[in-house]
Structure 1
Amino acid sequence: MNDSPGWATPGSSPSDSGQGAEGADGTRPPAGPAQPTGDPKWSAEQPPPGQWSSPGAPQAPDAAPAPTTPPASAQPRQQPAGSEAAGWGSYGDQRSAQQGSQYAGQYGYPGGPGGSGAHWGKPAAAKPGVIPLRPLGVGEVLDGAVATMRGHWRSVLPITLVVATVVQVFSLITQKYALSEFTIDSQPTTMDDALETVSGTLLASSADLFIQLVGSIIATAMLTMIFSRAVLGNASSIGSAWRDARPQLPRLLGLTLILMVGAILLIGVLVLPGVLLGSFGLGFLGIFAALGLVVWLWTALSLSSPALMLEKSTVAKALARSWKLVRGSWWRVFGITALTQLITAFLSGIIVFPLTALGLALFGGDMDALADGTGQAGWGFLILNAIGIVIALTVTMPMQSGVTVLLYVDQRIRREALDLELARAAGLENYGTAAGTTAPPATPGG
C-alpha cells in the first residue's frame, strides 16, 4: 500500500487496488503475439499486439493483421532491453509508489538501474511549471530554482530582502553596542573579568544567532510554499505563502533546533574524550569522525523541512520521510546540495567582498586600527558590510531553499510516481495513462 502521506500524495495505483498491469490471477497480458488457442487463461481471439509488443517485433502467422503503420513520428519509442514496462507512454497505468526503481530504470537517467541513458535519454514530459514532470537532472534542479526566482520574483525577493534586512540590522546593533563592549584586554586580567567577558560575548552572540535562526525559518517556510506552487505553474502572493506556512512554523522551529542541537551534541560526545585525556591524536580523530557523521546525518535529513511543510506532518514523521527518500540516493542528494552551497558561497563572496574592502579602505583607519580590530567597529564599515550581506542573502537564500524543495519533489517522483499526481493537479487528466500516450505540450513555467 502507498504510505506517502500529506501533500500531493499519488492517487490510487494498481498496487493499491490489487490489479494493475497484471490480471486478477497475477498473470500479465501477452506482450507479443497472441496466445495459442486452447489455453484456458486466454480467449481464442486476441486483439493485435498494439503497444504491448515492441515496435518492429515479428508477428505470429496466425495473429490478427496489424493496423496500418503510423508515421515514424507517431510510433512509440522502443523499450530498452530488459525493461518490464509495457511502453514509454503507458507507464502510469503499471507502476505504483512501490515501483520507483522500475520507473528510474525506465527513464534511464544516469546512474539509474535501467542504464546510463546514453541510448534512450529522457522521454518528453509536460512542463506546467518550472520543472518537467519526470526525474530531474542536476542542471534541471538548479535551473528550476533560478527559473522560480526569475518568474516569481515579486513574491520571492521581497521575502528574502525583508528577512535579510531585519536580521542584519539586529546583527549590526549587536556588533556595535554589545560585542564591542566584551573584548579581552591584552593586559593581565582577573579570572572574574575574563569569565564576565566570555559570558557576555556568548549571550550577545546567542541573541544574534537566535534572530538569524528565526528569520531563516520564516523565509524557508514561505519560500517552500512558493516553490511548491511554481512546480504546477501557479503564482503565489506573499500573503498566501504566509497563510500556508504559518501553521507549521512552530514545528519547523522545533525541527531546526533538533538538528542543530543534535549536531552539537554529536561533536561534543566524540571530541570530549580526547579533550579530557589531553590526547591530540584522539581529539583529532574525534573531530574527523564527528564531522563525517554530521555531514552524513545532515544530508540524510536534509529533506525533512519540505516534508514537514508540504505534507503537514509532525517533526518525527518529517525526519523519517527524509531518511526514507534519501536512502539509496545519498551521494546524489549530497552532491547537488554541496554544489548549491559552493555556487551560493561564490556569489556571496563576489557581492560581499568588494563592499567589505571598500569599508576597510574608507573607514578602517590606519594599520594599527586594522591590527587591533578597532577599524572594523566603526559605523561606516559595519553598514557597508551589512549592505553586502543583505544583497547576498536576498539572492542566495531562495536558491538554497528552491534546490531543497525540488530535490524533495524529484525524489518523490523517482520513488512514488508523484509526477502523475502533479500532472492531475495541473489539469493534465490523462497524463501518463494509456489514453495519453503522448505527453501534452509543455507550457511556460510561472
Structure 2
Amino acid sequence: MSAYPAWTPAARPGIIPLHPLGFGTILGRSFSVLRHNPKVLLGFALPVQVVSYLVVLLGVVGVGFLTFSRLETLRWGTDEFEAVTAGSVALTAATGIVLGLAAGAMSVLVQGVVVSEVAAAVLAEKLPLRALWRRVRPVAWRLVGFTALVSVAVFLLLGILVGVLFLVAQASLPVAVGLIVLSAIGLIPLSLWLSTKLSLAASAIILEDAGIGQAIGRSWRLIRGRFWPALGIIVIISVVFSAIGQVISIPFSFLSSGLGTIIAPTGEPDATSIIAVLATSVLVQVVTLAIQAVAVVVQSTAVALIYIDCRMRREGLDADLLSYVDQRDAGATGLPDPYRAHIGRETPRPPAYGAYGVQPPSYAPPAGYAAPAPYGYAAPTPGYPQDGGYPQNGSYPQNNGYPQNNGYPQNNGYPQDGRYPQDDSYPQDGSSPQAAAYPPAPPAPPATPATPEEQSPTRWAAPGSSEDRDDR
C-alpha cells in the first residue's frame, strides 16, 4: 500500500462559490437556479400555484353564489334584505380570507421545497422531488403555522388601524382622510422592513429544524448588518416580475376588449362573444399564474441565498460547506448535515476602518542607528549618486567614491629555468628580478675587396666624352 494519499478529483462547483456573496452574485444566481433543476422546481411550483388559485376562485364564487342567491326571494330595501346582503358579503369575504391563507400555506410549502433544492445545489447535489419533500415534510406544519401567525398579526394590525380611522372619521372627516393618507404612506416602509426582517425564518425552520419563535429570532439576528442588500434584492425581483406581468397582461386585455367589439359590434352580447371573452380571460390568468410560479421560485431562491450568505459572514458556514464537499468527494459517507453544524457560532470579524483605537508606541531604533531621513529626494553626495526615491539612512557613512587603484600588483614572475639563457635586451622593471642578457652576436666577417672591373675591348662611350677622346 502506498504511503501517499490517493488522488481525488477536484470538488464539483455548485451554483455559488463557497465564500460570502456579493449583491450581484445573489441577484444573478437567483435566476440561474432554474436551469439547475427545472423539472422539480417548475414541475412542483406551477401545479401547486394553479391548484391553490382554483381552490380560492371556486370557493369564493361558490359561497358567493349560494349566499347572494337568497336575495332574489327578498324585497329590495327591506331590513331583511339589508341583513342578508351584509351577511352574504361577510361570509364571502371570510371564505376568501380563509382560502387565501390556505393558498399562502401552499406557497410557503413551495418555498420550503425551493430552499431545500437551493441548499443541495450549493453543494453540487441534484435531488429528486421525493428527497426534497422528505426534508420539508417534518417541518411543514411549522411553516404553515409561521405563515398563519404572520397573517393574523397583519390582519389584527390592519383591523386596529381601520377601527381607529373609523372613529376619527365620526368626529372629523378631513382629519380621517389625512390619517388615511399618512397611514398608507407609513405602511409601505413598515411592511418592507418587517417582511425583510422575517424573510429568513422559513429557511431557518427548514435547514436548522428550528421552532417558530426560534426561527423568528434567528432571522432577526442573521439579517442584522445585511438588511439593505436583502431589501434591495427582494424589491428588485418583485418589481421585475410585476413589470413582466403587466407587459404580458396588457396586450391580452386589449385583445379581450377587441374580440368583444369584433364579435358583437352592435353591443348585444351573444354566446360566442361571451365564450371569446372568457377564453381570453382564462388565458390571461394562466399566463399570470405561470409568471407568479416563476416569481415564487426566484424569490424563494434569493431568500435562501441571502440566508446562506448571512451565515457565511456571521457563523463561518462556508468552512463547514467546504469541509463537507472535500470529505464527500474523497469518498466519505454518512456525513452530518453541514447546515445544522455550528448553529449560532459567532466568528470574529475584523474591526471597521478607524475602529482599532489608540495603538501602542512603535519600537525605538536600536542604539547607534540614527532615525531615517524624511521621505523625498535627498541632496547629492560625493561619490556615486544616491537614489533620491528611497530615504537615506543617516546611520551609515556615505562612500566618497571607490579608492583609486594604483595598478595591479606586479607578478614576480615564474621561476626561471637556468638551462635557458635569459635575454638582457628588455627594459628593466624595478618590481621584477633582472633576467640574464643574451650573449653578443659574433662580429661580421670582413668584406672582400671588390675586384677592378676589367676593361672591355669594345665599349660604348658618349661622343665628345673623355673616354671617347682617350680612345682616339
TM range (shorter): 0.5 to 0.7
Aligned to 1:11: none
Is the Cα contact below 8 Å between 2:101 and 2:148 reproduced in 1? Answer: no
Structure 1 stretch displaced more, 192-201 or 313-322? 192-201
Shift of 1:207: 4.4
Distance in 2 between residues matched to 1:214 and 1:422, nearest whole Å: 30
Aligned to 2:21: 136
Distance in 1 between residues matched to 2:221 and 2:236, nearest whole Å: 22
Shift of 1:156: 1.0
Shift of 1:182: 6.5
* CA offsets 1:385-414 (integer angstroms, 9 cap, x no match): 331123212322210110010010111111
Q: How do 1:34-433 residues align onto structure 2 when only pairs under 5 Å count?
A: 128-174=13-59, 177-179=62-64, 190-278=81-169, 279-280=175-176, 281-362=178-259, 379-427=278-326
Shift of 1:137: 1.8
Is the Cα contact below 8 Å between 2:105 and 2:143 reproduced in 1? Answer: no
Matched to 1:349, the amino acid is: Q
Distance in 2 between residues matched to 1:369 and 1:166, nearest whole Å: 35
Q: What SS does the corresponding residue of 1:327 show, helix, strand or coil? A: coil
Matched to 2:182, the amino acid is: L
Distance in 2 between residues matched to 1:359 and 1:427, nearest whole Å: 57
Q: What SS does the corresponding residue of 2:19 show, helix, strand or coil? A: coil
CA 1:350–1:286 in structure 2 vs 1: closer, same or farther (change >3 Å)? closer
CA 1:423–1:195 in structure 2 vs 1: closer, same or farther (change >3 Å)? same
* CA offsets 1:8-52 (integer angstroms, 9 cap, x no match): xxxxxxxxxxxxxxxxxxxxxxxxxxxxxxxxxxxxxxxxxxxxx
Is the Cα contact below 8 Å between 1:174 and 1:208 reproduced in 2? Answer: yes
Distance in 2 between residues matched to 1:282 and 1:151, nearest whole Å: 49
Q: What SS does the corresponding residue of 1:427 show, helix, strand or coil? A: helix
Q: What SS does the corresponding residue of 1:426 show, helix, strand or coil? A: helix
Q: What SS does the corresponding residue of 1:230 show, helix, strand or coil? A: helix
Shift of 1:322: 0.4
CA 1:277–1:390 in structure 2 vs 1: closer, same or farther (change >3 Å)? closer
Distance in 2 between residues matched to 1:356 and 1:403, nearest whole Å: 31
Structure 1 stretch displaced more, 156-165 or 270-279? 270-279
Distance in 1 between residues matched to 2:12 and 2:314, nearest whole Å: 19
Is the Cα contact below 8 Å between 1:423 and 1:429 reproduced in 2? Answer: no
* CA offsets 1:182-230 (integer angstroms, 9 cap, x no match): 7799x85742132033123213423441342232122111111111101
Is the Cα contact below 8 Å between 2:60 and 2:92 reproduced in 1? Answer: no
Distance in 2 between residues matched to 1:319 and 1:345, nearest whole Å: 28
Aligned to 1:443: none
Shift of 1:301: 1.0
Is the Cα contact below 8 Å between 1:270 and 1:289 reproduced in 2? Answer: no
CA 1:406–1:237 in structure 2 vs 1: closer, same or farther (change >3 Å)? same
Aligned to 2:4: none
Distance in 1 between residues matched to 2:123 and 2:240, nearest whole Å: 26
Structure 1 stretch displaced more, 138-147 or 407-416? 138-147
- Which gives a bigger RCO, structure 1 or 2 (Cα 8 Å, sep 6+)? 1
CA 1:366–1:181 in structure 2 vs 1: closer, same or farther (change >3 Å)? farther
CA 1:203–1:379 in structure 2 vs 1: closer, same or farther (change >3 Å)? farther
Shift of 1:261: 1.5
Distance in 1 between residues matched to 2:237 and 2:161, nearest whole Å: 29
CA 1:327–1:288 in structure 2 vs 1: closer, same or farther (change >3 Å)? same
Distance in 1 between residues matched to 2:192 and 2:225, nearest whole Å: 16
CA 1:327–1:261 in structure 2 vs 1: closer, same or farther (change >3 Å)? same
* CA offsets 1:323-354 (integer angstroms, 9 cap, x no match): 00111222221111111111122233334444
Is the Cα contact below 8 Å between 2:260 and 2:276 reproduced in 1? Answer: no
CA 1:273–1:196 in structure 2 vs 1: closer, same or farther (change >3 Å)? closer
Distance in 2 between residues matched to 1:410 and 1:197, nearest whole Å: 49
Distance in 1 between residues matched to 2:100 and 2:223, nearest whole Å: 29
Q: What SS does the corresponding residue of 1:268 show, helix, strand or coil? A: helix
Is the Cα contact below 8 Å between 2:105 and 2:147 reproduced in 1? Answer: no
Percent same amino acid among aligned pairs?
27
Structure 1 stretch displaced more, 198-207 or 252-261? 198-207
CA 1:240–1:362 in structure 2 vs 1: closer, same or farther (change >3 Å)? farther
Larger Rg: 2
Distance in 2 between residues matched to 1:221 and 1:426, nearest whole Å: 23
Shift of 1:381: 4.3
Shift of 1:289: 3.4
Q: What SS does the corresponding residue of 1:316 show, helix, strand or coil? A: helix
Matched to 1:169, the amino acid is: L
Q: What SS does the corresponding residue of 2:17 show, helix, strand or coil? A: coil
CA 1:297–1:207 in structure 2 vs 1: closer, same or farther (change >3 Å)? closer
CA 1:413–1:219 in structure 2 vs 1: closer, same or farther (change >3 Å)? same
TM-score computed with the length of structure 1 as normaliser: 0.60
Shift of 1:308: 1.0
Q: What SS does the corresponding residue of 1:134 show, helix, strand or coil? A: coil
Shift of 1:366: 6.3
Number of residues paired by the alignment? 301
Distance in 2 between residues matched to 1:152 and 1:161, nearest whole Å: 14
Shift of 1:140: 1.1
Shift of 1:151: 1.7
Distance in 1 between residues matched to 2:126 and 2:260, nearest whole Å: 44
Is the Cα contact below 8 Å between 2:200 and 2:219 reproduced in 1? Answer: yes
Matched to 1:332, the amino acid is: P
